[in-house]
Amino acid sequence: MLEGVIVKGIGGFYYIDTERGVYETRARGIFRKEGIRPTVGDHVRISVLDEDNKKGSLDEILPRRNELIRPKVSNVDQAVIVFAAKSPDMNLDLLDRFLLLAEEQELEIIIVINKVDKDEERKYEETAQMYRQIGYSVYCTSAEIGIDTEELKRALENKISVFAGPSGVGKSSLINAISPGLSLNTGELSEKIQRGRHTTRHAELICFCENSYIVDSPGFTSLFLSHIPSAKLQYYFREFEPFVHKCYYNGCVHINEPDCAVKAEIERAINPVRYARYAALYQELKNEEERKK
Ligand SMILES: Nc1nc2c(ncn2[C@@H]2O[C@H](COP(=O)(O)OP(=O)(O)OP(=O)(O)O)[C@@H](O)[C@H]2O)c(=O)[nH]1
Ligand SMILES: [Zn+2]
């Protein structure tokens, strides 16, 4: 018995990365009978049938910690949310939407501000500071000239990470910087999304060092939040957490209620810009709920 991680599944074959290399396996019939489909990211046990040719049989899928739907990958640990300091300019509304989706999936989160070489005035520092204060790790990188890419790489070790962020911010470039042998064409991630519209394309894991994987297609490509109940939104704003239980009203949503402990913290522990975003998104979700009634 050998343990490993499914890094790729094609045409009924599953490729398992183990401490002895990658094995090509077929899944035992029992999974189909039980309605379980092996998924990239699954931790599995295999038995080796042919050591020379690295072939085996996939015998057991260990319990999944979580399952992302798009891309379909199990056991993702971490979302790496990438924006550019410039070209394209940072859009904090979008950043917050990516954050909410990652929070909802209970992933660890890293924020990356890439292309810092393009902003000599370092205006991005202010944004970095704001998100650090909330409690996020923020890396300010340049994939182009190699600023802090090694630090970012270290933050991805021993994890499965999925990159997310708008087009053109440098996701492929960063993955190349972290995994130089790989050479993803820049622009390739978005090509893959487009292809994905027509064919069911399965994600693969890129192993860049032992036990450390990057999902090869971007996560959270749809930023609609309408499936999040308005009443739950507050729990995805990390900085509200110490206060949400101190409001006078049970079930306070921190909009119009008096004696609200969250609103009392605006300009103190809570950044007004973030609160404004919360209020706007709350309204957006609420309207959507009314519309569906
Ligand atoms: N100046 C500068 N340019 C960069 C940096 N990182 C990436 N670029 C350039 O920005 C462009 C877009 O980079 P990609 O890596 O393709 O961006 P992406 O986020 O993967 O884009 P999609 O695949 O469309 O999602 C390319 O021309 C890169 O060469 C950087 O740190 N500094
Ligand atoms: Zn409140």
pLDDT surpasses 80 at 260: yes
Measured from the Cβ of residue 184, the count of other Cβ atoms closer than 10 Å reads 18
Does the reported pTM lie above 0.90?
yes
- The set of protein residues with a Cβ atom below 6 angstroms from ligand 1 is 114-115, 117-118, 142-144, 167-173, 186-190
Residue 98 lies in a domain: yes
21 is in an annotated binding site: no
Does the annotation list 247 as a binding residue? yes
Residues 91 and 178 occupy one common structural domain: yes
- Which of 26, 48, 64 is the last residue before a domain boundary? 64
Based on the structure, what is the number of domains in the chain? 3
Q: Which ligand is nearest to the CA of 124?
A: 1
Q: Residue type for 39, please?
A: T
pLDDT tens for 84-116 read 999 999 999 999 999 999 999 999 999 999 999
The boundaries of the domain holding residue 162 are 68-215
List the Cα angle 58/216/2 in 5-degree steps: 25
Return the exposure string of 267-285: e unless at least 16 CB atoms fall within 10 Å of the residue's CB, then b.
eeebbeebbebbbebbeeb
Tell me which residue has its CA closest to atom 6 in ligand 1.
170
ipTM for this model? 0.98
What pLDDT, in 10s, does the model give residues 29-85?
A: 878 788 889 999 999 999 999 999 999 999 999 999 999 988 999 999 999 999 999
Q: Report the SS3 class of residue 4.
A: strand
pLDDT given at position 202: 76
**Which residues does 39 contact at the CB level (< 8 Å), separation at least 6?**
6, 9, 64, 67, 72, 73, 74
Residue that is written with structure tokens 């039980």 in the block = 34
Q: Where are the beta strands (DSSP E) in 152-253?
A: 160-164, 205-209, 212-215
Is the link from the previous residue into 88 a cis peptide, with omega within 30 of 0? yes
Asked if residue 187 has pLDDT above 80, the reply is: no
pLDDT of residue 196: 43
Say if residue 19 is in the same domain as residue 85.
no
Give the per-residue pLDDT at 59: 95
Rounded CA-CA distance 63/198 in Å is 31
Identify whether 270 is part of a domain. yes
CATH code at position 204: 3.40.50.300
Radius of gyration of the chain (CA): 21
- Mutation test residue for ligand 1: of 94, 186, 189, the one with most atoms within 8 Å of CB: 186
Q: Which ligand is nearest to the CA of 245?
A: 2
Is there a single domain that holds both residue 137 and residue 13?
A: no
